Amino acid sequence: MSKRLKLLLITLNILSILFLIFSVYFLNQQKSITGRVISNPNPEKSITGKLIENQEQVDEFSNTTKIHWSHMPLTYKFETNCPEKREIEMRKAFEQLKQDTGFLLWFKETKTNPDISIYCKESQWEKWKDETLADALIHLDKSNKNLIIKGEINLYGQQTRLCKTGYPRLEVHEILHLFGFRDVGDMSSVMFSYQLDYQDCKIKKIDKDIEKALKEIYSS
Ligand SMILES: [Zn+2]
């Protein structure tokens, strides 16, 4: 074999080895891109998956600029033992609000990780010299102050205060605080700041403007 031929063969060998290395590398590149695409066919879906893992929800009502919850139904849980009467009135209020909004708002009782936690506590009568029957608290998302991520309702003592009409005003009032509605001075409003006596309370439904505001947000 001549020296030239030997050199040619070595060069060919080197070239074919280089070709092999490149094709294996190239194929691997292709594979990894394909793999990524297959495991992530829909980027939005995968982001959703990640958010759910972090126990957050996608905002289904992001069209609004008003304070709102991200999803329906909202789940609720009695975190402490409650007097039976108070539990019944609370459940009735969730059901009532569903009816009042034409099923736009709806709620489900859960045993784990609720959106709304309900606590029954001792009467506050002595502590504050003024009887608070219930109060409510909301937690907002850190990065989106319009987004409500958790609600708490505290029910104090044994007493329930149904209206003459049978409407669970006290409980509906507290739930509406969890939707960002504030107390008002109008006695005919469900958001009137003081508890009315049984006889004075003529409420049968939430206020028209509250209903309208809720529809604007949760119909989208
Ligand atoms: Zn209030």
70 vs 46, which has greater pLDDT? 70
pLDDT at residue 56, rounded to an integer: 60
How many Å apart are CA 84 and CA 185, to the nearest integer?
A: 31
- Tell me the pLDDT band of 150, cut-offs 50, 70 and 90: very high
Question: For residue 189, is pLDDT > 50?
Answer: yes
pTM: 0.73
pLDDT at residue 42, rounded to an integer: 35
Question: For residue 38, is pLDDT > 70?
Answer: no
Say how many Å lie between the CA of residue 92 and the centre of ligand 1. Answer: 18
State the average pLDDT for the chain.
81
Say how many Å lie between the CA of residue 195 and the centre of ligand 1. Answer: 9
The position carrying tokens 């939430």 is: 206
Say how many Å lie between the CA of residue 189 and the centre of ligand 1. Answer: 11
Say how many Å lie between the CA of residue 42 and the centre of ligand 1. Answer: 44
pLDDT at residue 159, rounded to an integer: 78
**73-77, 132-136, 172-176, 212-216: least confident range:** 132-136
Say how many Å lie between the CA of residue 54 and the centre of ligand 1. Answer: 32
Say how many Å lie between the CA of residue 31 and the centre of ligand 1. Answer: 60
Say how many Å lie between the CA of residue 170 and the centre of ligand 1. Answer: 9
- Tell me the pLDDT band of 175, cut-offs 50, 70 and 90: very high
pLDDT at residue 123, rounded to an integer: 82
Say how many Å lie between the CA of residue 25 and the centre of ligand 1. Answer: 67
Residues in the chain: 220
- Tell me the pLDDT band of 105, cut-offs 50, 70 and 90: very high
**21-35, 75-89, 107-121, 122-136: least confident range:** 21-35
pLDDT at residue 157, rounded to an integer: 87
pLDDT at residue 6, rounded to an integer: 81
Say how many Å lie between the CA of residue 111 and the centre of ligand 1. Answer: 27
pLDDT at residue 73, rounded to an integer: 97
Question: For residue 39, is pLDDT > 60?
Answer: no
